Structure 1
Amino acid sequence: MRIALGLSYRGAAYLGWQSQPSGKAVQDHLEAALRRFVGEGVRTVCAGRTDAAVHALQQVVHFDSPVERAPFSWVRGVNSFLPPDIAVLWAQAVAEDFHAQKSAISRRYRYVLLASAVRPAVLESLVGWTHARLDLERMRAAARILIGRHDFSAFRASQCQARSPVKTLHEIEISCQGNTWNFDFHANAFLHHMVRNIMGCLIAVGSGAQDTEWLQNVLMARLRSLAAPTFMPDGLYFLGPHYPVEFGLPEPARALPVLLA
């Protein structure tokens, strides 16, 4: 029986999604909880691997279960074995051809940024931070350059395992309320560090350190060395994947908790 789970986690304490020899990844904790609940080991596949310290509002995973359980039992049972900063949101039996990663048609991320002279304290690890003053229209103009189907090699980590650097970036929405900025990214798929590398470039343009023509040149050159440094993982949230409607799975989250909204 193939099961899909919706998962939420605060990533600050973990070395990303993918299993690590140290056992300090989200996947390690989820599979340990599933083993205790099911009674034997199962291997999970996720919709999108998140980096160390990156959060998720609705990560989706699938696995093949040797036992049958009601959906509410998967939620309550697995959660009883998970640490408090990881939680199963929902569970659903799916067709055998469902694949959490390959069946997804797009994915969404949000970066929450505090632009302030003083670093965050209460929201430490939950928001990114810059002391620069940012120009909204400059960043929106820069973001428009990246929309569409492009080779995003300039925004790709050297350890990225994606077969192709060509992705379709559907949308970047940027908004600001007070000194809190929201950057929403929607693409068919993302490369390793792609959002964080774009964030570094958008902040460089928004602060006046670079202009929009520079970002166009970075994109066209396809050289990581020409782009801005990778921005901090704090403040990055995987909102979740979109799937074809026939799978009947919940849509990605579109709103953050009120404290961060």
Structure 2
Amino acid sequence: MANIRLVLEFDGSNYAGWQRQPNGLAVQQVVEEGLGRLLGASVTLISSGRTDAGVHARGMVANFHTERILPLAAYREGLNGLLPPDIAVQEATLVADDFHARFDARGKWYRYCLCLNPVRSPLNARYSWQLRANLDVAAMTAAAADLVGVHDFQAFRTSGCAARTTTREIFSIDLLAAEKLLYIDVRGSGFLRNMVRVMSGTLVEIGLGKRPVNDVKRLLLQDQGQAGRTAPPQGLCLMEVWY
């Protein structure tokens, strides 16, 4: 019996998220079906987490156990030959029998991409949230600093979140400008449902002057009021998972 770890990259535009579900095609389903054809047996993937419909990934980690031992290249090149163009295995490695993609994860890096352009940008539309107004990046940076650390992020999750605790640790938040794009890089121990998207939406509202810079502190203290809008899914990408 072998335990194989995969690092997957995918464009989530055409999928109902990572996790298998009855009402839409999920990335997990497509990869499991490809593995089933490759190995001649059904396979269940254990993933490092979930992504919502329309969210992308460069570093989704998943593992599976198999009795059929193949060269590692087969789990990558062979599986990639069975996957659609918008999903690909970047790495395939043999790991310890007790490795668990979810429970062994130590942290994750998410990137939210904003396109700051007064004119519609077709090439960026698939992977960013386009804003046609100027943002106060200095105000956003100051507010983002208040999110770093161990906090109760109850205000920064959406309905349906089944997490037993809403306390999480954010290691860092960096805002990086690249021509007409602004990246919000969030690194943390773990995340609630839509947490990064709600954080990004709140920072955008601060950058637009719709909220004061100190509003993040108020939300973390569970004062009355709601966080900002949930930023659109296409701007979010899971970049890396650490072990």
Tell me which interval the TM-score lies in, with the shorter structure as reference length. Answer: over 0.9
Paired residues for 1:1-261 under 5 Å: 1-22=2-23, 24-221=25-222, 226-243=226-243
3-state SS, counterpart of residue 197 of structure 1: helix
Deviations 1:76-96 (A, max 9, x none): 111111110000111111111
- Which letter does structure 2 place at the counterpart of 1:172? I
Instruction: Provide the rounded CA distance (Å) in 2 between the counterparts of 1:213 and 1:123.
Output: 31
Q: Is the CA contact (8 Å cut-off) linking 2:115 and 2:124 kept in structure 1?
A: no
Flag the 1:122–1:39 CA change in 2: closer, same or farther, 3 A.
same
How many angstroms does 1:28 deviate by?
0.6
Q: 4+ residue stretches of structure 1 with deviation over 3 A? A: none
Gaps of 5+ in 2: none
Structure 1 portions without partners, runs of 5+: 244-261
Deviation at 1:23, TM superposition (A): 5.0
Return the offset for 1:118.
2.6
Give the alignment's Cα RMSD to 1 decimal. Answer: 1.3
Whole-angstrom CA distance in 2 between matches of 1:131 and 1:215: 24
Q: TM-score, normalised by structure 2?
A: 0.96
* C-alpha distance in structure 1 between counterparts of 2:202 and 2:77, whole Å: 42
One-letter amino acid of the structure 2 residue matched with residue 117 of structure 1: P
Shift of the alpha carbon at 1:179? 2.4
- Aligned partners of 1:103, 1:94: CA distance in 2, in Å? 12
- What is the one-letter code of the residue matched to 1:43? T
Percent identity, aligned pairs only, is 37
CA apart distance, 1:127: 1.4
Does the 8 Å contact 1:23/1:29 carry over to 2? Answer: no
What is the one-letter code of the residue matched to 2:78? G
Alpha-carbon distance between aligned partners in 2 of 1:92 and 1:99, rounded to the nearest angstrom: 13
- Deviation digits for residues 37-95 of structure 1, max 9, x if unmatched? 01011100111211111110011101111210111011111111111000011111111
Distance in 2 (alpha carbons) for counterparts of 1:104 and 1:165: 18
Return the letter of the residue paired with 2:44. R
Mapped contact 2:15–2:24 kept (Cα < 8 A): no
- Report deviation, 1:222: 6.6
For residues 161 and 93 of structure 1, the distance between their equivalents in structure 2, rounded to whole angstroms, comes to 32
- TM-score in terms of structure 1 length: 0.89
How has the CA–CA distance of structure 1 residues 198 and 112 changed in structure 2, closer, same or farther, with 3 Å as cutoff?
same
Q: Which amino acid aligns with 1:236?
A: L
Partner letter of residue 232 of structure 2?
M
